[in-house]
């Protein structure tokens, strides 16, 4: 334990210095250090090895990645109404929020700017009210070492027509990403959010992401995660829903390595609505796991799940929630015939039909076709 304490004091000093140099508020630094201490107390110090994220963002050199930056910053920025956030590794390279929305009080910025400029929104909601660090060692790790993220705030009765698009990109040579997304929707507001999790490396570092959503009374959020990362990833999403609030979770999970997406809701008001839609494609040798959970005994709550998965090859292990609306199709790696593609299309088309938001549906369809094109140069989904 002596070595563990020595490591703890060294990590504590490094973390405190890095956070202060990063300009983080005192309350956040204290929370980071508390989370690190809990890791030590639970003897998880061995998990903080060199291949985990133990550094905070610094100015990055993207001289070798100009094409990557151009690809994601220019894509879909053809109109002034586009809402887009692009982060490559730990560095934000583009934020686009129309002036008219900013003037109305909408906030769309990186998580560290939000901590400094909007503490009245972030301090009470971040990693405590929605997701607690006491849940497991991963939530403590997230709080101690998170190094990227986004904050979205919707004022009262604010309805956003165009989707917020968030690109979290893990590129060659970057440190592991520990990502946080915090969304606060005031009463009567609504929007759709599409989170693209992307890797651009044959041997990418791991990625973990936590999504926290506070959906207040009569608000409605469509949140889609489209994970096309070739590396391992862990994504934990949770929303708290007040009276008459609704959330539609959509997931496109495309795995070549171990991956887990854990989605949950806590209902604290009546007449709430929770929909969970999933399309999964698993290939290679890995385990892919989906966990869904809804907590809270409230009046007139409505929940719905609809999930379809395709497992190509026998090495993959796919774990989906067991219910009548969940189906997993298994295809032999050497059996990608014309009929197989027809069967795959028949598996995924009902998923797309379940998605009401047009932007989310188009994004998921495009991602599915791109993944399937790796096996055959053909557009499978015609919907």
Per-residue pLDDT at 60 exceeds 80:
no
Sheet holding 287-295, edge to edge: 107-110, 148-154, 177-185, 207-215, 233-241, 259-267, 287-295, 317-319
Q: Encoding tokens for residue 305?
A: 């799940």
Q: Helices 338-354 & 358-372, crossing angle to 10 degrees?
A: 160
Of 166-170, 232-236, 315-319, 323-327, least confident by mean pLDDT is 315-319
Secondary structure letter of residue 271 according to DSSP: S
What average pLDDT does range 184-207 have in this prediction?
A: 85
Question: For the whole model, what pTM was predicted?
Answer: 0.88
pLDDT digits (tens, 9 = 90+) for 298-355: 888 899 999 998 887 765 678 888 888 888 888 776 656 666 777 777 888 889 999 9
Confidence of residue 378 (pLDDT cuts 50, 70, 90): very low
Domain spans, the chain: 1-49, 61-334
What average pLDDT does range 196-222 have in this prediction?
A: 86
Confidence of residue 199 (pLDDT cuts 50, 70, 90): confident
State residue 316's pLDDT score: 66
Question: How are beta strands 83-88 and 91-96 bridged, if at all?
Answer: antiparallel
Of 77-91, 93-107, 230-244, least confident by mean pLDDT is 77-91
Residue pair 198/341 in contact by the 8 Å Cβ criterion:
no
What average pLDDT does range 28-45 have in this prediction?
A: 81
Confidence of residue 136 (pLDDT cuts 50, 70, 90): confident
Confidence of residue 286 (pLDDT cuts 50, 70, 90): confident
Residue partners of 10: CB distance under 8 A and separation at least 6: none
* Buried b / exposed e along 66-90 (16+ C-beta atoms within 10 A): eebbeebbeeeeeeeebbbbbbbbb
């Amino acid at each position: 334990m002596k070595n563990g304490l020595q490591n703890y004091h060294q990590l504590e000093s490094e973390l405190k210095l890095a956070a202060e140099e990063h300009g983080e508020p005192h309350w956040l630094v204290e929370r980071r250090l508390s989370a690190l201490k809990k890791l030590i107390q639970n003897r998880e110090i061995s998990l903080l090895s060199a291949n985990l994220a133990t550094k905070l963002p610094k100015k990055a050199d993207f001289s070798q990645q100009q094409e990557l930056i151009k690809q994601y910053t220019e894509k879909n920025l053809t109109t002034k109404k586009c809402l887009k956030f692009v982060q490559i590794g730990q560095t934000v390279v583009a934020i686009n929020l129309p002036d008219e929305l900013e003037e109305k009080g909408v906030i769309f910025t990186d998580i560290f700017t939000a901590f400094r400029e909007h503490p009245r929104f972030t301090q009470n909601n971040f990693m405590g009210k929605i997701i607690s660090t006491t849940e497991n060692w991963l939530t403590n790790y997230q709080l101690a070492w998170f190094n990227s993220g986004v904050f979205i705030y919707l004022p009262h009765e604010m309805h956003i027509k165009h989707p917020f698009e968030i690109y979290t990109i893990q590129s060659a040579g970057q440190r592991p990403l520990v990502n946080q997304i915090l969304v606060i929707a005031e009463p009567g507001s609504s929007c759709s959010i599409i989170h693209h999790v992307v890797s651009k490396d044959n041997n990418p570092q791991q990625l973990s992401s936590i999504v926290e959503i506070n959906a207040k009374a009569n608000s409605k959020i469509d949140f889609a995660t489209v994970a096309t990362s070739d590396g391992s990833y862990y994504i934990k999403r949770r929303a708290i829903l007040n009276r008459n609030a609704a959330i539609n979770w959509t997931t496109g999970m495309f795995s070549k390595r171990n991956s887990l997406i854990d989605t949950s809701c806590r209902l604290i008001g009546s007449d709430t609505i929770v929909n969970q839609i999933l399309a999964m494609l698993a290939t290679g040798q890995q385990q892919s796991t989906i966990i869904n959970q809804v907590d809270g005994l409230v009046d007139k709550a409505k929940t719905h799940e609809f999930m379809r998965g395709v497992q190509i090859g026998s090495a993959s292990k796919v774990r989906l929630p067991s219910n009548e609306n969940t189906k997993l199709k298994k295809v032999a790696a050497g059996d990608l015939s014309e009929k197989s593609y027809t069967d795959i299309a028949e598996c995924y088309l009902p998923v797309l039909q379940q998605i009401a938001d047009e932007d989310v549906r188009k994004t998921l369809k495009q991602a599915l076709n791109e993944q399937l094109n790796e096996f055959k140069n053909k557009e499978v989904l015609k919907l």
